[in-house]
Amino acid sequence: MNSDLRSELHKKAEQAWPDLELLIGWQAGYDDLHTTPVFIRDSAEISKLIWNPWCTQNLAVYVAKHFAASSGKDDKKIGVCVKGCDSRSLIALLQENLVARERFYIIGMPCKGIVDLRKLHALSGAARILSVQVNAEQVALKSAAGVLHFPLDEVLMRKCRRCRYPNPLIHDVLVGDPLTPRTDAHEAYNDVAAIERLSLQERLAFWQGELDRCLRCYACRNACPLCVCQDRCIAETRDPKWLTQYMHLPEKFMFHFIHALHLAGRCTECGECERVCPMEIPVALIKEALNKITLELLDFEAGLDPQRVPPLLTFDAGETGI
C-alpha cells in the first residue's frame, strides 16, 4: 500500500515539476525509523521522496524562510508536501500574510497517523531496533530478540490519536484517498481536561516537575512553524531583556509562557514542539489549553480558513462578557 502511494507521489511530483523551483518533501533517513526533510532542486532527485508513517517532520516550518528567500523567477513555485496537521500550519501562515498562496504548490498527503518513536522504543524494550515494517494496521518490529507486532494505533503520536484533520485542508493535488477523522472536537481536548481536573496546587506541582527538566535549548521554538521571529525572539534578545541565563524555574516558566502566549490563537497543534523536546516535556499541552480557551471564548481554531484573522490580532467592539 505504501509503495503504491509512493509511486503516486513520484508521479504527481513529476507532473508538477515544470512549474517548480524547489520541492520540499521527506526522504529516508539513516535507518528505517527515521526520515529527514529533502529539498529537491533537480528532477532526478524526485525518486528520493518517500511517504510512510515515519514522515514526522512538519515541512511548513521551512515554508516562510524559503518564501522570503525565493526569487519567484519565471513564476516558478515552491512545492511542499503536507499532512493534514501541516496543512493547518500553512493556512495559519496564510492567515497572517506571511506567505502568498499563489507561490506554492501543495501536495497533500491524507495521513493515518505518525509513529511515536519513543512509544515504540518503550513498548519494544529492545536496546536496538533492527528494522520495522508497517502493514495496514500493524507494525512489525524486528530486534535482536525477534519480531514483535503492535497495532498501529498503540504507537501513534499523541497528536495523531486526537487528530481531527487527517486530510490536508489546503492542497493542489492529493496523494491517496481522503480519510475519516479519528476524533471529534469533543474528545480532542481530553488531555487538557485531565489536567484541569487537578487542584491548583497539583497543577503547579505538575508543571514545576515537568518544566524543571527544561534545558532552554529552544528546540520547541525552532521546530515551530509559527515561531516566525526566530532571529529576534525575545527569549534571546538583550533589549528587551526578558530572560536571564539563570537555569531556575521562574526563567523556565517564563520561556514557556513566552512561547505559548505568542501562539495563543495561532497554534495549529502540529505537535512538533513536543516531539523535538529532548527532555520529553509535554509542552504542546500548554498550547492546547490556550487553543481550548480561544475556541470557547472567541470561537476560533487556527489554520482552518485562510480568510479569517487570528482573534488576538483583531478585535470586536460589539463583543460582551469580557
CB environment 85-94: b (16+ within 10 A), e (fewer): bbbbbbbbbb
How is the beta sheet containing 138-143 ordered, strand by strand?
Answer: 129-135, 138-143, 146-151
* Nearest distance from C-beta of residue 254 to other proteins, angstroms: 6
How is the beta sheet containing 104-108 ordered, strand by strand?
Answer: 35-40, 20-28, 77-82, 104-108, 173-174
295 counts as binding other proteins under rule CB under 8 A: no
Residue closer to other proteins (CB basis): 115 or 273: 273
Among 50, 106, 156, 260, binds other proteins (CB under 8 A): 260
- Whole-number Å distance between alpha carbons of 138 and 115: 11
297 counts as binding other proteins under rule CB under 8 A: yes
Q: Which stretch binds other proteins (CB under 8 A): 93-101, 106-114, 134-142, 282-290?
A: 282-290
Of the candidates 253, 212, 262, 211, the one whose C-alpha atom is nearest the C-alpha of residue 233 is 262
Q: Which stretch binds other proteins (CB under 8 A): 61-69, 139-147, 162-170, 193-201?
A: 193-201
Residue closer to other proteins (CB basis): 71 or 320: 320
265 counts as binding other proteins under rule CB under 8 A: yes
Among 5, 98, 152, 254, binds other proteins (CB under 8 A): 254
- Whole-number Å distance between alpha carbons of 137 and 115: 12
| Three-class secondary structure of residue 18 per DSSP | helix
> Within its chain, how far is the Cα of 12 from the centroid?
23
316 counts as binding other proteins under rule CB under 8 A: yes
Q: Which stretch binds other proteins (CB under 8 A): 143-151, 155-163, 171-179, 314-322?
A: 314-322
| Three-class secondary structure of residue 178 per DSSP | coil
- Whole-number Å distance between alpha carbons of 180 and 164: 9
Residue closer to other proteins (CB basis): 170 or 295: 295
Among 194, 205, 217, 309, binds other proteins (CB under 8 A): 205
* Nearest distance from C-beta of residue 238 to other proteins, angstroms: 16
Residue closer to other proteins (CB basis): 122 or 293: 293
Query: DSSP of 263-309, one letter per residue?
Result: TTTT-----HHHHH-TT---THHHHHHHHHHHHHHH---TTS-TTSP
286 counts as binding other proteins under rule CB under 8 A: yes
| 212-251 residues near other proteins, rule: CB under 8 A | 212, 242, 246-250
| Three-class secondary structure of residue 156 per DSSP | strand
* Nearest distance from C-beta of residue 290 to other proteins, angstroms: 6
For other proteins, the binding residues (CB under 8 A) are: 192, 195-196, 200-208, 212, 242, 246-250, 253-254, 257-258, 260-261, 264-265, 286, 289-290, 293-294, 297-298, 311-312, 314-317, 322
